[in-house]
Amino acid sequence: MSRRRVAILISGRGSNMASLMEAARAPDYPAEIALVLSNRPDAEGLERARAAGIETLAIDHKAHASRESFEQALDSALRERGIEFICLAGFMRVLTDWFVESWAGRMINIHPSLLPLFRGIHTHRRALEEGVLVHGCTVHFVVPELDAGPIVAQAAVPVVPGDTEESLAKRILVQEHLLYPKALDLICSGRARLEAGRVVFSEEWDAGGALHSPH
């Protein structure tokens, strides 16, 4: 089996990165984590990836005069290493249309809400303010519009009385760690693919399986 060469882009602690790395240790997983790249040289996740023997790279956005030159450096580093697919995992830089379009159909992101609800930041706070009873996380293809793009997989969790931003974030993070490796598997194995701007699941795949049940 040929495994897709995947780069994970992070800016912080990298717990989703760790769950992807863990999944990719299985010999039958259809992706290998070939690179972990951060825009912050001090990102905690870099050390964790290094310890796991994965190549890491820091490209500090502050060392670049423009967003374009930062992204050129990012793009060259990815192409030089033969990266075929990108997973954004807590990568806190907004990407330009140029970068997004050069990786169209080959870049996914995990977002801590049930999209299209609560795009942007502070998703858990806003979910509590709105009084929703169900919240969750989404893996989606990246398109120029922020936190939009065809949905690959979602996991829902209940919002319970007494929940705080922290308790909700914690409950959802558990699901993120299960959902992201599953979504990458679906794509790299060809069981989920993009067709005319939507994700289509292969017939042998029960599409309901992309909705990860927490129970």
Active site residues: 111
Which window, 1-9, 13-21, 55-63, 157-165, contacts ligand GRF (CB under 6 A)? Answer: 13-21
Q: Which is closer to ligand GRF, CB of 60 or CB of 68?
A: 60
| CB-neighbour burial class of residue 167 (10 A; exposed 0-12, middle 13-18, buried 19+) | middle
Token pair, residue 89, equals 């995992």
Q: Where are the beta strands (DSSP E) in the chain?
A: 4-10, 31-38, 56-58, 85-88, 107-111, 134-141, 151-158, 192-195, 198-201, 211-212
For position 144 contacting ligand GRF by CB under 6 A, the verdict is no
Contact flag: residue 15 with ligand GRF (CB under 6 A): yes
Task: Give every CB contact of residue 187 below 8 A, 6+ residues apart in sequence.
Answer: 85, 108, 152, 193
Residue 12 lies near ligand GRF (rule: CB under 6 A): yes
For ligand GRF, the binding residue among 3, 4, 5, 13 (CB under 6 A) is: 13
State which of positions 73-92 bind ligand GRF (CB under 6 A).
Answer: 89-90
How far is it, in rounded angstroms, from Cα 34 to Cα 112?
25
111 binds ligand GRF (CB under 6 A): yes
Nearer to ligand GRF, 17 or 21 (CB): 17
Q: Cis before residue 116, ω within 30 degrees of 0?
A: yes
Binding segment toward ligand GRF, per CB under 6 A, in 12-20, 77-85, 181-189, 194-202: 12-20
Q: Does 212 bind ligand GRF (CB under 6 A)?
A: no
Size of the site for ligand GRF (CB under 6 A): 14
* Residues at the contact surface with ligand GRF, assessed by CB under 6 A: 10, 12-17, 89-90, 110-112, 137, 176
